């Protein structure tokens, strides 16, 4: 049978591989014959990895150290690590979920990738409607370099808000960044996409249950098949996005929610996130 995915011998880097969607992604890539390097601040215990580096994506020096030990050429990058905000403050949530990836892309991926390279981030359904609110996001997207990104985040002036309030905003920023990035890198033959998962059974599920009013709320607002996804159901489409099979797909925010978003698009359910998020308390969502 043809190898449609063509990962054998490719160098892949996965963040967040100690748990959940990142772990399932790294596992699948190992099975497919890629050389898999992972970054997580927790220990990633997976057989077959080429390397596992402990680093906090919220700290520039730790990102720099991690990339110093990674290969000079990267074929596929999977930005999966992210936080709910429940265990972090507002600014740190934005920095980990969005700022770190902008920094990594500009500082390392653009230099280490060539024609055929592919980048896929895990955003969230919480980041929908990003295209309707570009104006409020654009200033943060334009910030170049770690210090400018940190300053732009501080400039929102919401540091006294709880971390979960930043979650949806962080994912909207990531989605908008992907749209820009896909345009900028297209000329070099590098693709950039993002996956927007619905509620998935992972290390973050307990946090999201608190943020969304209980586990039953997560179940009621997941896929139309009425259950949470399992990590592999997100990892597989993510692996597809960076694969040879998806070689003409770029700039795509791929909703993986078993069709549930259509209820909102068809007006059969309220669109909870159709509003600006900056300066609005109580804007949390997963
Ligand atoms: N689980 C869901 O319902 C859901 C829904 C939508 C989006 N997502 C997104 O999926 C992604 C993966 O999360 P998950 O659900 O698999 O949760 P998870 O907690 O199981 O996995 C996240 C991993 O990221 C790592 N990580 C977090 N912050 C880090 C940091 N600062 N530096 C280094 N590593 C860090 C954690 O140690 C963990 O291994 C996240 O970006 C999350 O926002 C999850």
Ligand 1 mean position, distance from CA 202 (Å): 8
How confident is the model over 51-64, as pLDDT tens digits? 999 999 999 999 99
Q: Per-residue confidence at 280, pLDDT binned at 50, 70, 90?
A: low
Ligand 1, atom 16, lies closest to the CA of 20
Lowest-pLDDT range, 3-17, 89-103, 133-147, 183-197?
133-147
At residue 221, does pLDDT exceed 60? yes
Residue 238 C-alpha from the chain's centroid: 10
Cβ partners under 8 Å of residue 216, min gap 6: none
Residues with CB under 6 A from ligand 1: 16, 18-22, 40-42, 56-58, 80-83, 96, 122, 124, 197, 199-200, 202-205, 208, 286
Task: Decide: 34 and 242 in contact? Cβ < 8 Å.
Answer: no
Distance of alpha carbon 247 from alpha carbon 17, whole angstroms: 24
Average pLDDT over residues 135-140: 90
CB 103 within 8 A of CB 89: no
11-265: CATH class: alpha beta
Pairing of β 253-256 and β 118-122: unpaired
Q: Mean pLDDT lowest for which of 7-16, 222-231, 265-274? A: 265-274
Residue nearest to ligand 1 atom 41, measured at CA = 82
Mean pLDDT within 57-81: 98
What's the 205 CA to ligand 1 centre distance in angstroms?
Answer: 10
The whole-number average pLDDT for the span 2-21 is 97
Q: Does pLDDT of 16 surpass 50?
A: yes
Question: How much is the average pLDDT of 141-162?
Answer: 95
Ligand 1, atom 23: nearest CA belongs to which residue? 16
Nearest ligand 1 atom, CA 81: 24
The minimum-distance atom of ligand 1 relative to the CA of 82 is 41
Dihedral sign from CA coordinates of 8, 9, 13, 16: positive
Domain ranges of the chain: 11-265
């Amino acid at each position: 049978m043809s190898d449609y995915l063509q990962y054998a011998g490719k160098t892949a880097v996965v963040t967040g591989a100690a748990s959940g969607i990142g772990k399932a992604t790294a596992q699948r890539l190992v099975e497919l014959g890629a050389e898999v390097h992972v970054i997580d601040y927790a220990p990633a215990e997976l057989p077959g990895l080429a390397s596992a580096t402990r680093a906090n994506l919220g700290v520039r020096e730790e990102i720099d150290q991690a990339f110093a030990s990674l290969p000079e050429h990267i074929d596929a990058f999977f930005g999966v690590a992210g936080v709910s905000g429940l265990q972090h403050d507002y600014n740190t949530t934005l920095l980990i979920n969005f700022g770190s990836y902008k920094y990594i892309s500009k500082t390392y991926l653009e230099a280490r990738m060539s024609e055929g390279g592919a980048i896929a981030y895990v955003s969230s359904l919480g980041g929908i409607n990003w295209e309707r609110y570009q104006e409020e996001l654009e200033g943060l997207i334009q910030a170049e370099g770690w210090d400018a990104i940190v300053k732009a985040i501080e400039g929102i002036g919401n540091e006294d808000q709880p971390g979960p309030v930043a979650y949806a905003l962080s994912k909207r920023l990531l989605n908008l960044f992907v749209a820009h990035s896909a345009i900028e890198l297209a000329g070099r033959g590098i693709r950039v996409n993002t996956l927007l998962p619905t509620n998935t059974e992972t290390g973050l599920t307990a946090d999201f249950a608190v943020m969304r009013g209980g586990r039953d709320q997560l179940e009621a607002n997941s896929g139309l098949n009425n259950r949470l996804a399992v990590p592999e159901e997100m990892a597989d489409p993510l692996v597809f996005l960076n694969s040879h099979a998806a070689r003409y797909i770029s700039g795509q925010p791929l909703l993986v929610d078993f069709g549930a978003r259509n209820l909102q698009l068809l007006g059969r359910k309220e669109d909870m996130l159709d509003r600006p998020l900056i300066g609005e308390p109580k804007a949390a969502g997963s």
